[in-house]
Structure 1
Amino acid sequence: MYYSKILIAFAGLLTANIAYSQSKNTAILTLPEAWRKAEQNSRQVEITRKANLIADEEIKDAIMERLPEVSLLGSIEKATNMPIYENGLFSSHTQEHEIIHTLYKAGADFYLNLYNGNKLNLKIEENKLLYQIAVIHNNEAISVIRYKTAALYLDLQKALVFRKLIIKDIADQEKQLLEIKALQKNGVVLKSDVLRVELDLSRRKMALVTIENDILIATQKLNIIMGEPDESVIIPTEFDSIDVPELPYEKYLADAMEHSFAYHISEKQTQVSKLHLSQVKANYQPKVGLYSDFSYANPQIFLFPYNPAWYSLGVAGIRVTMPLSQLYQNRHKVNSAKLELDKEETTHKDIEDKVRQQVKEAYLRYKESLVQIGVAEVDVAHAQENARIIKNTYFNQTSLITDLLDADVQVLQTRFELATARIVAQNKYYLLQNITGVL
């Protein structure tokens, strides 16, 4: 009896603290609101968003390479006189020509790529594919953080449902204890029956303490993932069962083939490998470009006789380069690119198999959880009817106190199992959506 009072006092203090915290900083939170906060706070989502921006800039950078290359140049040079060694380098010079000692030059260069084996267009296409991969990674990060948030949200919902169930059960047990005490005073039942009921009630109150701690732990985890203060109290919306149409496995599989993150990342990687092979093969192709050079210089040493005066010169033309060395240097690069493409195609098929397996498993587990809800509902009805019968027989002195306590425990346990089954069904549904890429 002493320990029972301690447990009651501790549970009351814990409930009072929670009530005080709720009055300070309480938020009624829906799951979509939790998703929004978690997405805003997630560092992984932020990383993938920045990766999107980087990939987009790389596309723009590749497109800018289509513009001509223009550069300015300028130089000032000092030159010595020109000695002539008619008798060899190891003898003194025999003559020394005076030259113009200071040379100036300023000009501009221009080059426009006309053809380079289509490498630039291939590079732009590759960067576009890499951008699409970055977008898929970002969507995947959002889906993952949503599923994690949903799992924590459902854990908190479950703990709150458990608390509601056990508080009601404790109230029922306390009422039943008063009835048994009245029978004990009249000599109908033994003192041991009262002690057994009080012991069982103490266990329930200890379970309530555990559930209260579960609520605090689940609340902190949810606050952390949303970026909220640890002490913020979250009140989820009332638990509601899943109301979704019964879709066949083939529909979920089709959704996965259309939206699955892993499947489409692998698909894009295969396309990147194809482009890489084309880029390597383009090394055999000639380079064609339009170029020009215009400059001012002093002195004039381009034509004889030289003249210590400023002059200008402009040159323009088409430059064609044929990389003959690539005929033997590029062979192994092409073979490597082909092997890389074969590897990516095999990887893509392997990922397709894994996606099918994951969708099948998640679908079956989800259907199983729905069946479990129906079973749990029947179990609750049976347990309640059994408890009603046992209670009547106990108070009519035709059954033992152990039968009564066992029946009460079964009622509480089946109610817990029903609540758990409903939460698990929600979790499995969100997991299935995450795998198919539509969460």
Structure 2
Amino acid sequence: MTRSIFYSLSLHIKEQAVHQKKLFSSVIWQFLFLLFPIIGFAQEEKYKLTLAEAIQFAKTQNKSVQATQIEESAVAADRKDVYKAALPVINTGTSYQRFSGLTLFTDGLSNSRTEQRKPSSNSANLGIDVLFNIYSGGKQKALQEEQNSRLKLATLNSLDTSGNIAFQTASQYLDLVKLYELKKFILDQLKRSQARLSNINSLYKNQKVTKSDLLRAQVTLSNVELSLQQTQNDISIANEKLDILMNIPDSVIISPIDSAGITKPEIKSLLPFVEGIERSSFGVQKTAENVELQRARVKAVRSNNLPSLSFYSAYGLNYPNYLFFPPVDQAYSIGFVGLKLQYNISSIYQNKDKLVAAKLRVKELETEHEAHSDNIRAEIKSYYIKYGEALNRISVNEEAVEQAKVNYGIVNSRYLNQLSLLTDLLDADNLYQESRLNLVKAQTDALTIYYHILYTSGNL
């Protein structure tokens, strides 16, 4: 019992240290965002942020993460309460009574007389009692083990939520990067469309092209302008979603520092995450802890079949003295110590089915744990394969961009020299635009898969 109390105190000290560390980190980040309007918003409502900084801020400031941390603290308080239940139960109390006259009846209720209560009309007591559980079939220990499992589950849930929010933040940040890249490409395409329209106007005035080419160039320019407006709206929407994940005001505009072309980890560096998935995955750890929680409940149910032994003591001051007969008009004090042994005979038949049900639930949770482990293992292997595929796609798209760029230059030169049709030029322009977008998509998809692997393996 003493060892359990010291263990509880040591865990309490560790929890306080972790809480202080989280609080310090939170204060630092809040200070930076409070300071930022002074140093950044004075000129422009934009805040430049790297992917790693966005993830770190969301993991500490997101409301869902904060909610799970509050629940973790609540479960920790419940755990302390369970450990304190092993301490002695001490009660104290006092009472005073003033009795009325004593009415005595004879011959039914026809004759009565009234006398004073003996030895006095007053009665009072003041006392204290102590009850200490020595042995209860292991129920107290089982409750402590159950609460330890609950605290581990709350901690894992907090870490899992933090990792999930980090993954969502990374995905949203990469979507924002993709949209900014798209905006840059559309602006380039807009310049090409404007230059192309100007050239076609000159050719049309010199009667070298038809009216159809001029109209088509104008329609193409209008479509590019609409695409630019749509992309700008998408950037605003994505920025607002990122603000919510990071729990910052909607007025803050996040400007990504990292681009889609940042260095991607080699696929071999991810192999330890795949191989250690059953030990590090938060989901697998939670299902495993659920099994331990149910096993502790089995112990608690089994303890109902065992006897309990308690030490109890009391001491009090009483008036009048009823220990003698007739009662004496005097105050007295007395105390005792003793042991109380109890055994619930009915538990032999009442507890049988409860124990069977508790054991079956252990088997159920063990099966769920194995199934979840299999699913997680298959999931992360598929992401590992897809990551290798994404890296290959980046290489292919890099070559495609160079080829499309050269092709556009050739077709544009041929069109200006009246050696090709406008359709060919527009197709070459769209191919160049599409190849650049495909490259950015391949790069951001690879990073998204990478962060998905980190989250699934419990390393985000």
Same fold, judged at TM 0.5 (above): yes
The superposition leaves residues 369-417 of structure 1 with CA deviations (integer Å, 9 ceiling, x where unpaired) of: 2222122222212222322332343334332221111111111111111
Partner of 1:8: none
Higher deviation after alignment, 246-255 or 383-392: 246-255
Relative distance call for 1:238 and 1:355 in structure 2 (3 A) is closer
Alpha-carbon shift at residue 289 of structure 1 (Å):
1.1
SS of 2:276's equivalent in the other structure is helix
SS of 2:267's equivalent in the other structure is coil
Alpha-carbon shift at residue 222 of structure 1 (Å):
1.6
Counterparts of 1:231 and 1:322, CA distance in 2: 67
- Which of 57, 78, 84 is the matching residue for 1:37? 57
SS of 2:268's equivalent in the other structure is coil
Q: Indicate conservation of the 8 Å contact 1:270/1:341, yes or no.
A: yes
Alpha-carbon shift at residue 299 of structure 1 (Å):
1.0
Counterparts of 2:238 and 2:455, CA distance in 1: 22
- Which of 233, 242, 249 is the matching residue for 1:213? 233
Q: Indicate conservation of the 8 Å contact 2:240/2:250, yes or no.
A: yes
Alpha-carbon shift at residue 186 of structure 1 (Å):
4.3
Alpha-carbon shift at residue 245 of structure 1 (Å):
2.9
Counterparts of 1:317 and 1:327, CA distance in 2: 27
Q: Indicate conservation of the 8 Å contact 1:386/1:407, yes or no.
A: yes
Q: Indicate conservation of the 8 Å contact 1:242/1:426, yes or no.
A: no
Please tell me the residue identity of whatever aligns with 2:346. Answer: S
Pair 1:405 & 2:430 matched: no
Alpha-carbon shift at residue 202 of structure 1 (Å):
2.5
Partner of 1:257: 278
Counterparts of 1:172 and 1:48, CA distance in 2: 52
The superposition leaves residues 116-171 of structure 1 with CA deviations (integer Å, 9 ceiling, x where unpaired) of: 11211111111111001000000111111111111111111111111111212222
Alpha-carbon shift at residue 238 of structure 1 (Å):
3.5
Alpha-carbon shift at residue 53 of structure 1 (Å):
0.7
SS of 2:47's equivalent in the other structure is strand
TM-score, normalised via structure 2 length: 0.84
Partner of 2:264: 243
Partner of 2:364: 343
Please tell me the residue identity of whatever aligns with 1:357. Answer: A
SS of 1:111's equivalent in the other structure is strand
Alpha-carbon shift at residue 94 of structure 1 (Å):
8.8
Partner of 2:89: 69
Counterparts of 2:201 and 2:113, CA distance in 1: 135
SS of 1:399's equivalent in the other structure is coil
- Which of 133, 147, 169 is the matching residue for 1:149? 169
SS of 2:344's equivalent in the other structure is coil
Percent of paired sites with the same residue: 29
Equivalent residues in 2 for 1:41-120 (5 A)?
Answer: 41-80=61-100, 92=111, 98-99=117-118, 100-120=120-140
Counterparts of 2:310 and 2:372, CA distance in 1: 44
Partner of 1:5: none
Pair 1:370 & 2:406 matched: no
The superposition leaves residues 59-117 of structure 1 with CA deviations (integer Å, 9 ceiling, x where unpaired) of: 21111122111111212123456566676x56646996851221111111011111111
TM-score, normalised via structure 1 length: 0.88
Partner of 1:277: 298
Please tell me the residue identity of whatever aligns with 1:282. Answer: S
Point out where structure 2 has 5 or more consecutive residues left out of the alignment.
1-40
Higher deviation after alignment, 393-402 or 263-272: 393-402
Partner of 2:186: 166
Pair 1:233 & 2:253 matched: yes
Counterparts of 2:151 and 2:236, CA distance in 1: 42
Q: Indicate conservation of the 8 Å contact 1:380/1:411, yes or no.
A: yes
Q: Indicate conservation of the 8 Å contact 1:56/1:131, yes or no.
A: yes
Higher deviation after alignment, 349-358 or 245-254: 245-254
Counterparts of 1:238 and 1:94, CA distance in 2: 101
SS of 2:353's equivalent in the other structure is helix
Relative distance call for 1:382 and 1:76 in structure 2 (3 A) is same
Counterparts of 2:42 and 2:241, CA distance in 1: 17
Relative distance call for 1:250 and 1:237 in structure 2 (3 A) is closer
Higher deviation after alignment, 216-225 or 54-63: 216-225
Counterparts of 2:389 and 2:42, CA distance in 1: 37
Higher deviation after alignment, 253-262 or 387-396: 387-396
Alpha-carbon shift at residue 227 of structure 1 (Å):
2.6
Alpha-carbon shift at residue 252 of structure 1 (Å):
2.8
Alpha-carbon shift at residue 359 of structure 1 (Å):
1.2
RMSD: 2.4
Alpha-carbon shift at residue 431 of structure 1 (Å):
1.5
Partner of 1:418: 439
Q: Indicate conservation of the 8 Å contact 1:85/1:91, yes or no.
A: yes
SS of 1:374's equivalent in the other structure is helix
Relative distance call for 1:190 and 1:166 in structure 2 (3 A) is same
Alpha-carbon shift at residue 221 of structure 1 (Å):
1.8
Alpha-carbon shift at residue 216 of structure 1 (Å):
1.6
Residue-pair matches, total: 418
Q: Indicate conservation of the 8 Å contact 2:51/2:258, yes or no.
A: no
SS of 1:247's equivalent in the other structure is helix
Higher alpha-carbon Rg: 1
Please tell me the residue identity of whatever aligns with 2:350. Answer: Q
Higher deviation after alignment, 185-194 or 413-422: 185-194
Relative distance call for 1:159 and 1:94 in structure 2 (3 A) is closer
Q: Indicate conservation of the 8 Å contact 1:297/1:311, yes or no.
A: yes
- Which of 448, 456, 460 is the matching residue for 1:427? 448
Q: Indicate conservation of the 8 Å contact 2:176/2:238, yes or no.
A: yes
Partner of 2:333: 312
Q: Indicate conservation of the 8 Å contact 1:241/1:426, yes or no.
A: no
Counterparts of 1:207 and 1:301, CA distance in 2: 98
Q: Indicate conservation of the 8 Å contact 2:139/2:300, yes or no.
A: yes
Please tell me the residue identity of whatever aligns with 2:455. Answer: N
Counterparts of 2:405 and 2:234, CA distance in 1: 27
